[in-house]
Structure 1
C-alpha cells in the first residue's frame, strides 16, 4: 500500500514535518496540505480517523499536541488490492512509539530541533512510500550508531 504523503502537524495547523512519496506540484502540495490539515483538525474526537479527500484516503491520529496524517491513493483495482486503513493507523502508532523510544516522550520541539534525525528515522521505516521496517530496535540501531560516532568525534576534537 503506497503512502503518498505523511504530515506531522500541531493543533494550530502548523506543519512540523512533511514527507511526500509521489511527485505533486508545489502549489498543489500547499493547497492540499492546508485543506487536509483543516479537515482533520476540525473533526471531533468522536469521529472516525479515516476520510477521503481529493482522491486520497487520509488516516490521521492525534498524540498529545501533534496530529500524524498519512495519505494514500487508492489503487485503480480496489478489489484486488484494497487499502488497509487500520494498517496505516497501526503504522502511525508504531512511528510514534519508535519516536517515543528514541526521544523519551516525543513532542513538537523534538521534531522541530531534531528534524534531520526524525527524517532519518522515518526513512528507516518508509521507502518509496512503502513501509519496509516496523521493528523499533532495527529502526533505532543506525540512529544510535550515528549518535555514538558523533560523540566520539566530538570527544576526539576537544
Structure 2
C-alpha cells in the first residue's frame, strides 16, 4: 500500500475550482468552489486553457496565474487542473488529482470516458474545495450505493409508467 501525500493535508488547503480540459480546449468538467460570475468563468476558462495547452510537456505542472496557482496534470487526452492559493502545497494537489484519476479509472475503465457521474465522484472527494475523502474504497462504496439508488429509481419509474399506461387504456 502506498503512502499518499494528502493523508497529512493542511486543513486550510482551499481549491478554488477544478477544470478538466481536452487537448482541443473543450471543457469536460468544471466545478467552482469560489464565486465567479458566468462572464468571469468563461474568461477564466479561455485564458487558463490557452496557458496550459501551449505549455511544453517538459515544463513543471504549476503555473502562477492571476495571483493564484494552477496545478495541472495530463492524463490521456485530458488536462486535470486545480486552482489554489499561492502559498498552498502543489504536491498535495497533484496527489489529489492522481487520487481522482485513479477513482475515475476504476469506475469508468478509462479517464477518457467521462460522464455526469464524474461530478458525483468529485463531490465525494472534495466538498467546498477541501479534501473530504481520501479512501478509494470508501468512495467506491459510495459510488456503488449511488448507482444502486439510481437503478431502483429507474425500476420504480418504469413500474409507475406501466401502471399509468394500463390505467389510461
Tell me if TM exceeds 0.5: yes
Q: Quickly name the TM-score band, shorter chain normalised.
A: 0.7 to 0.9
Unmatched segments (≥5 aa) in structure 2: 1-12, 160-169
**TM-score of the aligned structures, taking structure 2 as reference length:** 0.81
Larger Rg: 2
The alignment partner of 2:105 has SS state of: helix
Deviations 1:63-114 (A, max 9, x none): 010000110123xxxxxxx41001101110000001001111221xx32xx2
In structure 2, what is the equivalent of residue 145 of structure 1?
145
Q: Give how far 1:4 is off.
A: 0.3
In structure 2, what is the equivalent of residue 79 of structure 1?
none
Deviations 1:101-152 (A, max 9, x none): 1111221xx32xx21x111110111111101112111112121112223334
Corresponding residue pairs, total: 146
**TM-score of the aligned structures, taking structure 1 as reference length:** 0.86
- What's the C-alpha RMSD, in Å, of the aligned pairs? 1.5
In structure 2, what is the equivalent of residue 134 of structure 1?
134
Q: Name the CA distance, whole Å, in 2 between partners of 1:129 and 1:30.
A: 20
